[in-house]
Chain A
Amino acid sequence: MRAEPIRPRVKAVDKRKTGEAVLPHARPGSALHLRISDIMIAVTASEAGLVLRVDEATEKFLVAPSDPDAAVAAGWGDPGEARPGDLAFNSGGIWKLYRDDTRHRFVFSSMSLGPLPYKGATFEPDFSSGEVTLRRACFQSAQGLWPLEYPLDELLLQGLLARGRGAEIHACGIADASGRGLLFVGQSGAGKTTMARLWEGVPGITVLSDDRVILRRVGGSFVMFGTPWHGEAALAEPASAPLTGVFFLEHGAANVLLPLRGAAAATRLFACGFPPFFDRAGLDFTLKFLGELVAEVPCHELRFAPDGQAVEFVETWAAGA
């Protein structure tokens, strides 16, 4: 028997209520303001000829100007080389992190773009402000560009979250028709996109993201937020929901829920997170945060068959949670 539906608690950004307006395009010298998981980021083009533009998913997260948690100024210039001795972390991909005194300096380069860095970004220790320097030759400025283009946007959020705000998880986030937040956690290939598509057609639900979800503690409870960083299903919504259950995805022949507690749940959540491996204090906070989360929110391994019954199976559990 299913429980009576409870009042929906999905919190969406209501721009009409707040008087906000989505800015379709920025003009040279203007700024774009993002709100991701209630964290405000302002990006300013510091010179003419730099046209800010965001992709379709990020555009949903644009809001009217307000006091930012992080203010970023972007301009043309030479991202420059950093001193090898200052290297703090090598991602093995397109960016490296250097520490110049206490500031964070990300340097982006790609052999497909040539031997010189195409972008540099320097942030204050708390990520409250920073500058992005773009090598003009690498950008077709007439089309507009986004200085925080992936992965810098996520690196900035990672830094802000790790300073006592929350954590980002590799997961599909669903707010069901009753407003309950269901988090389906897994690395690539675990079934996040499959799960998102199974839920997509269910009336009244909101897919917050099919790939990246931010978790924060709000008013004593854990809340999950959609992000612009979607997966193959391209599902991303600037909405939030109270976290009701965490499910670690495993492919299976039938639908099975296995309870997970304590370290077993926390380590699996950590392994699907994006913690700042180069930041001791940030790592400490992330571990503590995830430990508190698994102590308060029910966690399960979900072995699921890729059919619609998985949705009903989880909903039956959620109704009794």
Chain B
Amino acid sequence: MNTAPGRERSHTRRSYSKPAMKRVHLKPEEAVLGGCKITSSFGPTAVNCKPGGLNCSGQQS
């Protein structure tokens, strides 16, 4: 049996739900790759990960 196109649509139509705002938590310090991550690193950022890291030799502070 054929179903009228309009009736077919009415069966698949979803019920109305009121739009709602939902806040999603974003951690900017993680999302922007801005800081220290892997403490096993061996370059300057490894120093950066440790409080009181050494200054580069020859740099004027």
Contact = CB atoms under 8 A, between A and B. Distances in A.
Does B associate with A? yes
Interface of A: 53, 55-57, 89, 91-95, 108, 110, 112-116, 118-119, 135, 137-139, 143, 145-146, 149-151, 154-155, 158, 170, 187-188, 229-230, 234, 264, 267-268, 270-271, 273-275, 277
Contacts of B43: 139, 145-146, 149
Given A91-B34, A187-B30, A114 B55 contact: yes
Contact of A112 (B24, B25, B53): B53
Interface string B8-41: 0000000000000010111111111111011011
Interface residues of B, number: 34
A55 B38 contact: yes
Residues of B contacting A: mostly = loop
5 contacts: A53-B42, A89-B32, A110-B45, A137-B58, A146-B42
A188 B44 CA distance: 23
Nearest to A97: B32
A145 B42 CA distance: 8
Contacts of B32: 89, 91-93, 274, 277
B61 interface: yes
A150 B41 contact: yes
B45 A115 contact: no
A55 B42 contact: yes
B56 A93 contact: no
In the A-B complex, the 7 residue pairs with the smallest Cβ-Cβ separation, listed nearest first, are A93-B34, A114-B59, A112-B53, A91-B34, A138-B56, A137-B58, A151-B33
Nearest to A268: B24
A186 B59 CA distance: 40
Nearest to A144: B42
A114 B56 contact: yes
B21 to A, nearest CB: 11
Given A55-B41, A112-B48, A271 B28 contact: no
Contacts of A271: 24-26, 31
A274 B38 CA distance: 16
B38 to A, nearest CB: 6
Nearest to B34: A93
A93 B29 contact: yes
Contacts of B31: 271, 273-275, 277
Contacts of A118: 44, 56
A230 B38 contact: yes
A73 B35 CA distance: 24
Nearest to A135: B56
A139 B54 CA distance: 11
A78 to B, nearest CB: 11
Given A53-B42, A55-B41, A116-B59, 15 more contacts: A55-B40, A89-B32, A92-B34, A93-B33, A94-B35, A110-B45, A113-B44, A113-B47, A119-B44, A137-B56, A146-B42, A150-B37, A158-B33, A271-B25, A271-B26
B47 A112 contact: yes
Contacts of A113: 44, 47-48, 53-56, 59
A292 to B, nearest CB: 19
A282 to B, nearest CB: 13
B57 interface: yes
A270 to B, nearest CB: 8
A116 to B, nearest CB: 5
A150 to B, nearest CB: 6
B5 interface: no
